[in-house]
Amino acid sequence: MIFQKNRLFKIISLSTAIVMCALAFSACSGSSSSGGTKKQLKITNVSYDPTRELYQKYNEAFAEYYKSETGEDVELVQSHGGSGSQARSVIEGADADVVTLALAHDITLIEQAGLINNGWIEEFDNDSAPYTSTIVFLVRKGNPKGLKDWNDLIKDGVEIINPDPKSSGGACWNFLAAWQYALNNNNNDEDKAKEFVTKLYQNVTVMDSGARGATTTFVENGQGDVLIAWENEAINSVIEYPNKYEIVTPSVSILAQPSVAIVDANADKNKTQELSKEYLNYLYSDKAQQIIGESGYRPSNEKILKTFSDKFDLDVSLITINDFGGWDAAYEKFFDDGAIFDEIYNG
């Protein structure tokens, strides 16, 4: 297919991923003592692509909070990449104490590998989703191609930048939003929805392994007419380059719920279970929720979310993963090997 020939990026190879994990996580976590000297408390947060800046700010706030509460310093290590790739790295041995990934399914894979206890999604509020986001279009200033909704993206000559659903959680949210738009406009005819999404992916000229890579391709490398993006990525791009880009909110989008969990097997081994729980709990504090909103994510605290009404379109029509029967059903239907995305991509 056309977009197969144009695809410039592929998922990182397993061997490379293993090497990277070995380098990134060679230091041990925890607070054990040796020779009478107590080591500094340390935990590692394995997260997805666009949360780098959020967790840089959050980690500073949490370290200050923890010091004030306990008198102890804590070292907080961040790791970022495509959400699916990050989940696989933890399964393959990356020593994460906590994961903060783009979708619940990626955490479920780690659970199924025996590293996270059953019932993790109920451990923290709002289905262990302390913030949400949605999917928007980022276009160049003046929107020269006149892109207003999903149907504009399948027009001839439109070049789309979009990450790969096989490695990027954000890309899965993108796919589902486009699919639902096609269903809504074709009397729920799945054959026509598949035809629509096939045309859309034929216009994808660069398919990066992660959402941040896709942003870099569009914003910094100047490729493509439109980036299908996390809302926070689009907001921050407009802030950084106010005269170069603008945001288009499609008529149908999706409530994206990034999820968090303690990697219990590692936290138990590293003796960081309590610290890890406190680290994720603090995401729901008023201070953390304010940082979340300032970073372009939607706070789960409705009162604080409303204070950012000038930043977010709070009236946008949002479907949810429940409209697809939950992540297990959605993944089986669309993203597993041989499922609808593979049929589209390899057809």
Q: Rounded to whole angstroms, how far apart are CA atoms 189 and 197?
A: 13
Q: Rounded to whole angstroms, how far apart are CA atoms 329 and 235?
A: 31
Q: How far is CA 152 from the centre of its chain?
A: 25
Could you report the per-residue pLDDT of 5-59, keeping only the tens digit for each? 333 333 333 333 433 444 344 444 454 444 445 668 999 999 999 999 999 999 9
Q: Is the pLDDT of residue 175 over 90?
A: yes
Q: Rounded to whole angstroms, how far apart are CA atoms 202 and 64?
A: 49
Q: State the distance between the two ends of the chain, measured CA to CA, in whole angstroms.
A: 7
Could you report the per-residue pLDDT of 283-341, keeping only the tens digit for each? 999 999 999 999 999 999 999 999 999 999 998 889 999 999 999 999 999 999 999 99
Six token digits for residue 128: 């262990």
Which phi and psi angles does 85 have, rounded to 5°?
-65, -40
Could you report the per-residue pLDDT of 60-105, keeping only the tens digit for each? 999 999 999 999 999 999 999 999 999 999 999 999 999 999 999 9
Q: Rounded to whole angstroms, how far apart are CA atoms 115 and 107?
A: 10
Q: What is the reported pLDDT for 346?
A: 82
Q: Is 100 exposed, middle or buried (0-12, 13-18, 19+ CB in 10 A)?
A: buried
Q: What is the reported pLDDT for 28?
A: 44
Q: Mean of the pLDDT values across residues 158-167?
A: 96
Q: Mean of the pLDDT values across residues 206-210?
A: 94
Q: What is the reported pLDDT for 30?
A: 52
Could you report the per-residue pLDDT of 232-266, keeping only the tens digit for each? 999 999 999 989 999 999 999 999 999 999 999 99
Share of the chain above pLDDT 70, in %: 88
Instruction: Please tell me the pTM assigned to this model.
Output: 0.85
